[in-house]
Amino acid sequence: MDFNQSADENLFDHARIIGKPHTRVDGALKVTGTAPYAYERHDVVENPLVGYPLGSSIAKGHITRMDATAARNAEGVAAVITTLDIDELPRAESNVAKLFGGDMIEHYHQAIAVVVADTLEQARAATSLIEVEYEEIPGEFDLDDAWKRLQDRDVVSHVGDVDAAFESAEITLDETYYTASQSHAMMEPHATIADWCDGKNMTLWTSNQMIEWTRQALATTFEIDADTIRLESPYIGGGFGGKLWLRADAVLAALGSRETGRPVKVALPRSFIFNNATHRSGTVQRLRIAANRDGRITAFDHAAISHTLPGGSGEDAVNQTRCFYAGENRRVAHHAIDMNLPESADMRAPGEASGLAALEIAMDEMAEKLGMDPVEFRILNDTQVNPEEPSKRYSDRHFVECLRKGAEGFNWSARNTTPGSKREGQWLIGQGMAGAYRGAPTLDSGARVRLSEGRLIVETDMTDIGTGSYTIIAQTAAETMGLEMDDVEVRLGNSAYPAASGSGGQMGAASSTAGVYAACVALQGEITKRLGVESARFESGQVVAGGKRVALRDVAQNEELVGEDTLHFGDFKDELEIGTFAAHFVEVAVHAYTGETRLRRTLSVVDAGRILNPVTARSQVIGGMTMATGAALTEGLNIDSQRGYFTNHDLAGYEIAVHADIPEQEVIFLDTQDGASTPLKAKGVGELGICGGAAAVANAMYNATGIRLRDYPMTLDRML
C-alpha cells in the first residue's frame, strides 16, 4: 500500500480499540518472568555451551602475541577463539567499531577472544589464563581539549546573516554547555544464542531492535547469504539504541558455534558492555542567541562537537536548533571528532537529547535577560514553518498549546520568579520548564495477517523493546478487522516474518501499525473477493456486505486466509516538516547544605498526533523523562584520559535514575491527528520524553538556587 495524503481522511475516527487505554498484552509474561529472552531460550535450545568474551586492555595499538594454551587446557573448555585466529571480519555498513578478528585494536575492551565452555564460570575463569601482549599507540581521548583546539567551524547550514544580526542585536547570549557521554544501561544485556552447528544455516536467538538490518549485517560480516540466516528477537529488555546494531555477543556466539558444532550462548558482561558496545557521545556546545528587546529572536548560532571512532557520525547536537524556534538568521555547525574512545552511536533521541539539554537552558537564560516568562518567550518564538526553509510548513504543530496547557496544569503562574528565594526547611524549592522537539520519521513497514476460525495471527519482524509494540499492533489489527483484542495474536521479532520498520528513531509505533493496517486491508480484499462483493465493512466479528452479515469465523473455516503487504510512505512527506512536540514542567528541591537535588513533580504535555494507546504512550514519555532526569543529575561516563576508557563501567558507578529518584509524573496528550504522518495519523513518542527534560530539571535547579549550571550531569559537587 502506498500512503499518500489522499489516504482515508476519516479512518478510525470512531475507533473502538485504537486510542484506548489497553494494558500490555505481554504484561503477564513480563511480570511473571516467563517472557523468553534471548539468553534464556531453553524452550528451543538444549544445553548450549557458554561463551565469555575477553576485551582489549589498551585503547589503541596492536596485539603482538597471544597465548591461549592454558585456557584451552582448562577444565570444561570446548574452544578458545582469539582475534589472531581469524582475519578481521568485514564491517557491515551500520557497524563503525570493528567487531572481531586481526591484531589491530581501535578501542578499549574491543573483543579479542571468546572462551567457550560447559559453564559460565569455567569460561570466565579461562579468559584470565589468556596471555596477551600489546604494542600501544597513544590515543586521543579528551573532547574538551579537542574543542579548544578546534579552529574552523564546520557549518552545516547558514541562513541569513548571523554575524550582522549579532552585531545589531539588542540582547544576546553566548554560553558554552557540556553534556556527558552516556550509556544506554538497558536492563537486559546484549545477549545471543547462536546455532551455526553445520556451518551453513545460522539461527540466532538474540536481543536486537532491528531484525532485518542485523540479518544483513551478519551476512556482510560473515560473508554469507542472508537467506541462510534466521533471527529471533521476540522480547527485548530495553535497547535505547544500543541494540540497533550487530554487536560482539552475536558475532562471538556465532563463531563459537561454528567452531564447536554446538549451540553457544554469549551475554556481554555488564562491565564489558560500557566500553565494548556503543554509547552516546558527550558534547561541547557553544550557543549564541540574539533577540530584540521585545523578545523576538533574530539569530541562533550553535556549534557543537562530539567524538566518534573514524567513520562514525558522533552526536549531532545542533539539529533541533535548525527548526524548533523562529528567527531569520541561523547558523549551525557540527563536528564529529575522530577519537579513540569506544564507539559512540545512537542513544534515545540521538542528537536532540543532548542538543535540547543545551538549547533549552539557553532559552531559559535568554528569557531571564529579556525579563520575560520562559513560557511566553517560547510562545512568542513559535513557528509553523521550518525557519530555514519557510516554504516547508509543519504538518501539525501544537507546541504553543503544549506550553499553555502545561503552564495551566502545573500552576506555573504561581511560581516564585526570584531564583533562590523559596525555602522549605533546609530545601530550596524551584520550578523550571523546557520545550521538546523530536522529528517524526517513518520507515516502510510490512506485515502478514492470517485468519482462521475467526482468529487472527499477525506476523511482522517488528520488535518490542519494552515499548508496547505487541499491544498497539494487536489494537490496530483488531480495530481494522472488526475483531476483539482476544481474537488477535501478535508474533514479532522473527526474520521469517515480513520486514518491518523495527524499533528505532521513535519510528516504530507509527510505522509498524501502518504496515499492519496495510496487511489487514489486503486480507479484507481477500475476504471480499471470496464473498464476491466489491466492498464490505468489518465489525463485531462479522463482514457486512450488500445487506448481509457473515461471521469471520465462517468466512475462513478449515482454512486460512492470508493478507500480506508493506506500507510504503510517499514522497510528499519531503515537502513537509513532521515533528513531535512537548513542554516539560519540573519542580525540584535542592538541599541548601549538601547540594543534593530531588525531583518533586513533573508534567509533560505532548503533541504527537494520534495516541495509539495512552497507557503505553504514557510509559514512553515518563520513561524518557526518567532518563532525562538521569542525564540531568547523575548519568555520565567518566573517561580515563590516559588510557581511553570509561572508568564507571557498571550500574554502581554509572548511576541511572531509579524509582526512589522519581516522584509522581503526569502526562497530558493533546491527542491530535497528523494526516501527513501515517494512515492512522499517528506519530511516535518513544524519544520525545527525553528531549528537553534534562534542561527542565536544570532550569528548576537554577530557579531553586540562583546557581546556573551548564555542565551535565549536575552532580552535587557542581552545585556547591
Q: 720, exposed or middle or buried, with CB in 10 Å at 0-12, 13-18, 19+? A: exposed
Measured from the CB atom, the residue of 19 and 684 that comes closer to ligand MOS is 684
98 contributes a contact to ligand MOS by CB under 6 A: no
Closest approach of ligand MOS to the CB of residue 579, in Å = 16
Alpha-carbon distance of 583 to 621, in angstroms, equals 11
Cβ closer to ligand MOS: 184 or 415?
184
Report the alpha-carbon distance of residue 358 to residue 354 in Å, rounded: 7
On whether the CB atoms of residues 203 and 194 are closer than 8 A, the answer is: yes
* Residue 508 or 675 with smaller CB distance to ligand MOS: 508
Beta strands 597-607; 665-669: pairing state = parallel
CB of 317 to ligand MOS, least distance (A): 14
Known catalytic residue at 687: yes
Binding-site size for ligand MOS (CB under 6 A) equals 11
Q: Of the candidates 350, 387, 579, 623, which one interacts with ligand MOS according to CB under 6 A? A: 350
Which value, to the nearest 10 degrees, does the dihedral of the CA atoms of residues 117, 122, 125, 131 take?
-30
Output 22 or 279, the one with its CB closest to ligand MOS: 279
Least distance in Å: CB of 22 to ligand MOS? 24
Query: Which has the closest alpha carbon to 340: 303, 305, 311, 317?
Result: 311
Nearest approach in angstroms of CB 686 to ligand MOS is 8
**φ, ψ at 492 (rounded to 5°):** -125, 170
CB-wise, 203 or 677, nearer to ligand MOS?
A: 677
| Least distance from ligand MOS to the Cβ atom of residue 570, Å | 22
Site for ligand MOS in 466-505 (CB under 6 A): 504-505
Q: In the range 328-347, which residues lie near ligand MOS by CB under 6 A? A: 346-347
Which of 259, 315, 360, 687 is flagged as catalytic?
687
355 binds ligand MOS (CB under 6 A): no
CB 680 within 8 A of CB 146: no
**Cβ–Cβ < 8 Å for 261, 226:** no
Which H or E element spans position 719? helix 716-719
Q: Which of 464, 408, 366, 417 is nearest to 686 (CA)?
A: 464
- Residue 597 grid cell: 537535588
Is residue 348 involved in binding ligand MOS (CB under 6 A)? yes
Closest separation between CB of residue 23 and ligand MOS, Å? 24
Residue number with CB closer to ligand MOS (123 or 345): 345
Nearer to ligand MOS, 260 or 503 (CB): 503
Which lies closer to ligand MOS via its Cβ, residue 344 or residue 431? 344
> What single-letter DSSP state applies at residue 343?
P
Beta-carbon-side half-sphere exposure of residue 180 (alpha carbons within 13 Å): 24
Q: Which of 191, 211, 244, 589 binds ligand MOS (CB under 6 A)?
A: 244
Dump the DSSP string for 175-231.
Answer: EEEEE--B----SSPPEEEEE-TTSSSEEEEE--S-HHHHHHHHHHHHT--GGGEEE
Nearer to ligand MOS, 350 or 515 (CB): 350
- Considering the complex, what minimum distance in angstroms separates the CB of residue 702 from ligand MOS? 29
Q: Are 708 and 695 contacting, i.e. CB atoms less than 8 angstroms apart? A: no
What backbone torsions phi and psi does residue 612 show, to the nearest 5 degrees?
Answer: -70, -35
SS3 of 258-309: HHHCCCEEEECCHHHHHHHCCEECCEEEEEEEEECCCCCEEEEEEEEEEEEC
Q: Residue 242 or residue 406: which is nearer to ligand MOS going by CB?
A: 242
Given a contact cutoff of 8 angstroms between Cβ atoms, the answer to whether 22 and 615 are in contact is yes
In the bound state with ligand MOS, the residue whose beta carbon lies nearer, of 561 and 691, is 691
Q: Quote the CA–CA distance of 88 and 106 in Å, as a whole number.
A: 12
Radius of gyration over every alpha carbon of the chain, rounded to an integer in angstroms: 26
Determine the distance from the C-alpha atom of residue 672 to the mean position of all C-alpha atoms in its chain, rounded to a whole number: 23
Nearest residue to 433 (alpha-carbon basis) of 112, 637, 649, 701: 701
For residue 591, CA distances in Å to 166, 340, 599 come to: 39, 39, 11
φ and ψ at residue 575, rounded to 5 degrees: -85, -10
Phi and psi dihedrals of 6, rounded to 5? -90, 15
- Return the residues of window 205-234 that contact ligand MOS according to CB under 6 A: 209
Smallest distance from the beta carbon of 511 to ligand MOS, in angstroms? 12
Helix (H, G, I), strand (E, B) or coil at 572: helix
CB count, 10 Å around CB of 557? Answer: 10
Q: Based on CB atoms, which residue is closest to ligand MOS, 209 or 673?
A: 209
Query: Alpha-carbon distance 160 to 329, whole Å?
Result: 4
Which region among 107-115, 237-245, 324-332, 368-376 touches ligand MOS (by CB under 6 A)?
Answer: 237-245
**Shortest Cβ distance from residue 190 to ligand MOS (Å)?**
14
CB of 508 to ligand MOS, least distance (A): 9
Pattern of binders to ligand MOS over 504-533, x per CB under 6 A? Answer: xx----------------------------
* C-alpha 661: how far from chain center: 22
* Contact (CB, 8 A) for 536 and 524: yes
Closest distance of CB 96 from ligand MOS, Å: 15
CB of 252 to ligand MOS, least distance (A): 23
Which stretch, 236-244, 283-291, 438-446, 611-619, contacts ligand MOS (CB under 6 A)?
A: 236-244
Alpha helices in 314-398 (DSSP H): 352-370, 374-380
Given the rule CB under 6 A, which residues bind ligand MOS?
A: 209, 239-241, 244, 346-348, 350, 504-505
**Residues annotated as catalytic (active site), given as ranges:** 687
